[in-house]
Amino acid sequence: MAAEVKPIPNAIPSPHAAEEEDLREHLMFDPRPREEMNRMVMDSMTHTTPRYWIVVGILAVLTAVLLYGVWGYMIFTGIGISGERRPNYWGIFIVSLVFWIGISHAGTFVSAILRVFKAEFRRPFTRAAELMTTFGLAAGALWPLIHLGRVWVFYWMIPYPNARWLWPNFRSPLVWDFMAITTYLLSSTIYLYLPLLPDLAMARDRTKGWRHVVYKFLALGWRGTEAEWFRLRKAINIFAIAIIPVMFSVHTIVSWDFAVAQTGGWNSTIFGPYFIIGAILSGVSAVVTILIILRATLKNMDYFIRLEHIDALGKLLLVFSMAWAYFFFNDYMVSWYGGSEVVRTILTFHASGPSAWIWYVMLLCNVAIPWLTLWSKKLRRTPWLMLIVTLGINVGMYFERYTIIPITLGHQRMPFDWGEYTPRLPEISLALGSLCLFMLLYMLASRFIPMVPVWEVREGQEAHQLRKVGKTVVPSVSELE
Amino acid sequence: MATSVVHMALFKEEQLDEAAEAIQVLRNLGISDKDISVISGTPFSEKMLGRPMAWTSIPLIGGAGAVVGFLVSVFLNFGTPLLYPIQVGGMGLQTIPTSIVLTFELTMLGLLISTFIGVLVETISPSYGPRGYDARVTDGQIAVLFSSGAELDASLHDALSHLGAEIVHGAEDKKLWP
Amino acid sequence: MKKPLPWWQRPWVRVTAGLLVFIVLGGAVGGIYLSQQPPEQPIQFPHNFHVGSGIPCLYCHPGAQWGPVAGLPTSDKCWGCHQQVAKTNTSPELQKLAAYVKNNESIPWVPVFIQPDHVHFNHRPHVAAGVTCETCHGDMTKMTVAEPIRGQNMGWCLDCHSKQEKEKWTRLSDCATCHY
Amino acid sequence: MAEETNQGVWGLVIDLNLCTGCNACVTACAMENNIPWVGEEDAGYGRSMSWINMQRYWEGEYPEVSPSYQPVMCQQCGRAPCEPVCPVFATVHSESEQINLQVYNRCIGTRYCANNCPYMARKFNWFDYAYNIPEPMNYYLNPSVTVRRRGVMEKCTFCVQRIHDGQENARAQGRAVIDGEIMTACQQACPADAIIFGDMTDPESQVSQALRSQRKYVLLEELGTQPKVTYLKGEGYYGG
């Protein structure tokens, strides 16, 4: 069966050759032997240049100083070194929390939703996206802690029997948040690990020294027996289906942090889906950003990650950008039409207050630029342009959260207590530090975890066939299970 | 069984049909299905290889975990407020809308974690059938392992090499996990 | 890369890890142990003898009747009796008392039963409700210097409060009863 | 101890016609409740801790302007939006005093309650202000009130320590609390007697009488928070 995967020889040259070529590329109809793919992946993993170590070193120092150093200083002096003040009790700590939790939606979206719906183009980059989920959550889960006034007693949010007879308040959205983020972090980490088992076994068989010891431990003695594959398939199926509602619940609950409050501009029933769409928009953009960077910097990745994938994700991005605009407009329209005095003043404040430029940059990056560029196949296949567009979308999404959190908070019901918020240096340093942490973790993982699920790619290549229909060929995908 | 040796017939990745054939040959030569096992680098379902259905208790373990998670959430939502009743914001002590959130999260957490524990336990618990391993499997090769006495060797060897298999006699069982 | 497994076997790693665990655990255990020990007092005051000879607690700690703080006796109060007691001149512990009185100094008693700043305890309602001293302070007929009661935390308070009459529970479980 | 079950519902009435905006209440509150001063820089940045916000609004066009003042403290809502959002029960509804509590040592500093307070009545300890009070000045600290450390939220408590004290005294003397016996610090300090505090369940108390005025209103009534602080302003008369 694998033989049929190969391109049909002597295909009649037709004016549609370019389209055919795309098809081939789309589902990777140019299979290479498994050994070669393994070798390519192992190579990308073990190959390090001095430049890589310099970047890692710089990132490590930056993380240590900008994130942990400043955080430690803040713990010892007080949260006051941030720019927060009455009435802006939440600033970019919470903005960053929402941002990173949003980023973490990408992996699950790519590898669970696309897996369940059998979108075949997902195969080569599921791992890259799942890693983003895990590390995005690792960076995001820091923020609720950084943001606490007394972080050393954060464990009071954990339900456990104690000498105080007190349990957490399960009516508080922050406890839901805590539970949801914990659930999502654990399940997405496991969901990263399960499909990794065969690849870890592959790495185990091809390494020596400390790597071998670690892979041997992590691969759990994977041999590839029928029972093991069967079990893995069952577990992945359970995960793929169960993790989707968990993913939706996480960002819905994050949105409820705002929506359940009576605060003007927050109390909106549409916040749940609006936040989810925003999260997927920023997450998928981040996936594209990372894929472009991986393709450019990681060895052998141009075979696995192709312009076709970026093209396909670009189409998704256009759809999500439109969906985001729809939800944004819906939220705006209903709030504005409702005519509540406080909400109307907030909406006016967003668009014409001293921070209005943030609101306009948000609309520019999230709507205008994607709509103007992503419709074009040619532009979608231009990596540097896609890099700019996707980075722009993430800037726009950051600004969206910034508009919703500190700017809205500054303009509430008591006009005497209106205020503005400007982040101070320590906060900005922490925000940059978490970005450094994310990049550092990702870079380290890229040299430790096989970045391409070779067995999934192989499985895909076996499932795909080119079928001749009349004068052209069409791809067909068979069910493997 | 004590005297039998584990042999391994290695097939190239594209020789799936031959591998399936080889299993049939082994069966015809009187080796029962439980003395055969197939290891591969790509997921082939038992249907493809014409093998008996594998069985797993992972959905069961996952379901049990979900039930445990549900019960824990019921205790946290409806039990803990009674242990020390604290009024907040004019809400009742046990509120159903807020309890749904936690119930969902903890049920899912129970389901997903126990599914993983199921995989972990089943993977590291001892398995039956012939054991053996070859690193070429992760290169996509298909290894058909079978245990048989030494006297069957000649006929087996012929049949299997006819199918294009590379035969490893007395495949060693490497210790793959500490 | 972050997996420390290959270094597990190295002896210095194990020794360091062992030492770290030992220090952390030892520090925790030691801290808890020390917090449950009676502090060093300026005079080894024999509660058992005084209570045994029939002196009521409120004689030396009268504040318990009317306020939050029970009070620790001043040297005047001790001297009121002890200047007439023959043993005062012989016992070495009582020589210390005599010295405090002579130098007109207060006795630097170390309070044993202290509440943290965020807990507001008042003796009066407890005494009025008929709670005996030994319920919270232990049996003083068996102690010389006062010893702390183990695990006297919020759960300990609530445990007793929850055993009171049902209609009092609203007030006795209210956070503002102790925390403001 | 017959009156143990009936603790009363405490209420505060502020007559804005009488208020001159002299800030005596703010000062008295700070002294009573160990409210630290935050220093010039932070106060200018909007981090002053006073539990009473003296809100000043200008009326008219310059130069014909006249200020109006409104002291806004925690409104002790019956259905407080700040309470259910706290993850650790640091701010709860007191069943026995019918006020809104802040338990300082339980607070972990999420600041969610402050966001959710429509009256902006909550103040946050951004730094260890109270522990940086210079040497002789720390003698002003009131031993009946916890000194707050960094990272906790705080707000007006209706001087709950005074309520406790009054109730406890009355109980020890075997009588009910007399109206006017328990005074909040702001009430005590108000030179214009614009602040009235007392039991709203007692129909004869000064608070209940004031509450029958036609001039009464509560802040942001449309939110349904059921505040225990009532304001009197404008034309009208006292009494029902």
SS3 content of chain D, % helix, strand, coil (to 5): 25, 15, 55
Q: Which residue has the tokens 């990132």?
A: A59
Cβ–Cβ gap D82/B90 under 8 Å: no
Beta strands in chain D (DSSP E): 10-15, 53-59, 66-72, 91-93, 100-102, 123-124, 153-154, 195-199, 216-217, 229-232
Query: A146: which chain D residues are within 8 Å (Cβ-Cβ)?
Result: none
Q: Which of D96, D158, D161 should one mutate to test binding to chain C, selecting the residue with the greatest count of C CBs within 10 A? A: D96
Closest CA to A129 of A321, A309, A385, A343: A309
Nearest residue in chain A measured CA to CA from D69: A416
CATH 3.90.480 fits B5-52+127-168, yes or no: no
The encoded tokens of residue A65 equal 């100083």
- Kindly state the average pLDDT of the residues A169-175: 92
Q: Which residue has the tokens 């130069």?
A: D63
Residue D3 has pLDDT above 70, yes or no: no
- How many separate domains does chain D show? 1
Residue A14 has pLDDT above 80, yes or no: no
State residue A12's pLDDT score: 54
- Kindly state the average pLDDT of the residues A121-131: 89
**Under a CB-based contact definition with an 8 Å cutoff, are residues A282 and A390 in contact?**
no
Confidence bin at A315 (pLDDT 50/70/90): very high
Report domain extents, chain B: 5-52+127-168, 58-124
Of the candidates A79, A173, A419, the beta carbon closest to that of D151 is on A79
Nearest residue in chain C measured CA to CA from A46: C1
Residue B137 has pLDDT above 90, yes or no: no
Listed range (A318-332, A334-348, A377-391, C82-96) with the worst mean pLDDT: C82-96
State residue C8's pLDDT score: 63
Q: Does D56 touch chain A (CB under 8 A)?
A: yes
Which is higher by pLDDT, C1 or D151?
D151
Listed range (A129-133, A224-228, A372-376) with the worst mean pLDDT: A224-228
Cβ–Cβ gap D101/C170 under 8 Å: no
pLDDT digits (tens, 9 = 90+) for D129-150: 888 888 888 888 998 999 999 9
Nearest residue in chain A measured CA to CA from B142: A224
Q: Does A448 touch chain C (CB under 8 A)?
A: yes
* A182 CB neighbour count, 10 Å cutoff: 17
Residue A445 has pLDDT above 90, yes or no: yes
Residue A10 has pLDDT above 60, yes or no: no
In percent, how much of chain A has pLDDT > 70?
Answer: 94
Q: Which residue has the tokens 């016992």?
A: C91
Query: A213: which chain C residues are within 8 Å (Cβ-Cβ)?
Result: 5-6
List C-alpha distances in Å: B18 to A179, A399, B38, C139, D159. Answer: 51, 59, 13, 87, 87
Residue A8 has pLDDT above 70, yes or no: no
pLDDT digits (tens, 9 = 90+) for C124-135: 989 888 898 888
Mind telling me how many Å the CA of A76 is from chain D's nearest CA? 9
State residue D114's pLDDT score: 93
Query: C158: which chain A residues are within 8 Å (Cβ-Cβ)?
Result: 165
State residue A4's pLDDT score: 47
Q: Is residue D81 part of a domain?
A: yes
Domain with D37 in it: what CATH number?
Answer: 3.30.70.20
**Under a CB-based contact definition with an 8 Å cutoff, are residues B160 and B167 in contact?**
yes
Average pLDDT, chain A: 89
- Kindly state the average pLDDT of the residues D62-70: 89
Residue A103 has pLDDT above 90, yes or no: yes
- Residue window 25-84, chain C: list those with CB within 8 Å of chain D: 66
Q: Does D152 touch chain A (CB under 8 A)?
A: yes
- Kindly state the average pLDDT of the residues A221-237: 88
Residue C6 has pLDDT above 70, yes or no: no
Residue D239 has pLDDT above 70, yes or no: no
Mind telling me how many Å the CA of B87 is from chain D's nearest CA? 5
Packing angle of the helix pair A226-259, A271-297 (nearest 10 deg): 130
Residue A374 has pLDDT above 90, yes or no: yes
Which is higher by pLDDT, A298 or A318?
A318
State residue B2's pLDDT score: 44
ipTM metric: 0.87
Residue B66 has pLDDT above 80, yes or no: yes
Q: Is residue D209 part of a domain?
A: yes
State residue B151's pLDDT score: 61
Which is higher by pLDDT, B54 or C83?
C83
Which residues are registered as beta bridge partners of A477? A464
Confidence bin at A358 (pLDDT 50/70/90): very high
Residue D4 has pLDDT above 50, yes or no: no
pLDDT digits (tens, 9 = 90+) for A37-62: 888 989 888 888 899 999 999 999 99
- Kindly state the average pLDDT of the residues C38-66: 88
Amino acid at D113: C
Q: Is residue D240 part of a domain?
A: no
Confidence bin at A223 (pLDDT 50/70/90): confident
pLDDT digits (tens, 9 = 90+) for C86-122: 888 888 888 888 888 888 888 889 888 888 889 999 9
Amino acid at B95: T
State residue A107's pLDDT score: 80
Domains parsed from chain A with CATH numbers = 2-6+32-477 (1.20.1630.10)
For residue B42, give every residue at least 6 positions away whose Cβ sits within 8 Å of its Cβ, in sequence order, or none.
A34, A455, A458, A459, A462, B13, B140
Q: Is residue D237 part of a domain?
A: no
- Kindly state the average pLDDT of the residues A171-187: 92
Residue D237 has pLDDT above 80, yes or no: no
- Kindly state the average pLDDT of the residues A351-366: 94
State residue A24's pLDDT score: 67
Q: Does C175 touch chain A (CB under 8 A)?
A: no
Of the candidates A165, A217, A447, the beta carbon closest to that of C1 is on A447
Q: Is residue D239 part of a domain?
A: no
Residue A2 has pLDDT above 60, yes or no: no
Residue C14 has pLDDT above 70, yes or no: yes
State residue A150's pLDDT score: 93
Report domain extents, chain C: 5-35, 36-73+110-180, 75-108
Residue A399 has pLDDT above 50, yes or no: yes
State residue D71's pLDDT score: 94
Residue D117 has pLDDT above 50, yes or no: yes
How many angstroms separate the CA atoms of D234 and D240, rounded? Answer: 16
State residue C92's pLDDT score: 84
How many angstroms separate the most distant Cα atoms in chain B?
Answer: 84
